[in-house]
Amino acid sequence: DAKTTQPPSMDCAEGRAANLPCNHSTISGNEYVYWYRQIHSQGPQYIIHGLKNNETNEMASLIITEDRKSSTLILPHATLRDTAVYYCIVRPLIYSGGGADGLTFGKGTHLIIQP
Amino acid sequence: ETGVTQTPRHLVMGMTNKKSLKCEQHLGHNAMYWYKQSAKKPLELMFVYSLEERVENNSVPSRFSPECPNSSHLFLHLHTLQPEDSALYLCASSPLRSSYNEQFFGPGTRLTVL
pLDDT tens-digit readout, A60-72: 999 999 999 999 9
**Residue of chain A minimizing CA distance to B33:** A102
Beta pairing partners, A45? A37
Nearest CA in chain B to A44: B105
Q: What is the pLDDT of residue B89?
A: 97
Least confident of A12-21, A39-48, A89-98, B56-65: A89-98
pLDDT computed for residue A83 by the predictor: 98
The answer to whether the CB atoms of A107 and B42 lie below 8 A apart is yes
Cβ within 8 Å, pair B58-A102: yes
What's the whole-number mean pLDDT along residues A12-41? Answer: 94
Output phi, psi for A79, to 5 deg.
-120, 170
Sheet containing strand A18-23, strands side by side: A18-23, A70-75, A61-64, A55-56
User: Average pLDDT of B73-88?
Assistant: 95
Rg (CA), chain A: 14
What is the predicted pLDDT for the residue at B53?
83
DSSP state letter for A82: G
Amino acid B51: pLDDT: 84
Q: Give me the total of CB pairs closer than 8 Å, taking one residue from chain A and one from chain B.
A: 80
DSSP-assigned beta bridge partners for residue B75? B22, B67
- Mutation target to probe the A interface, by most A beta carbons within 10 A, among B41, B48, B103 is B103
Q: How many residues does chain B have?
A: 114
Nearest-CB residue to A43 (from B45, B102, B108) = B108
pLDDT at position B67, please? 95
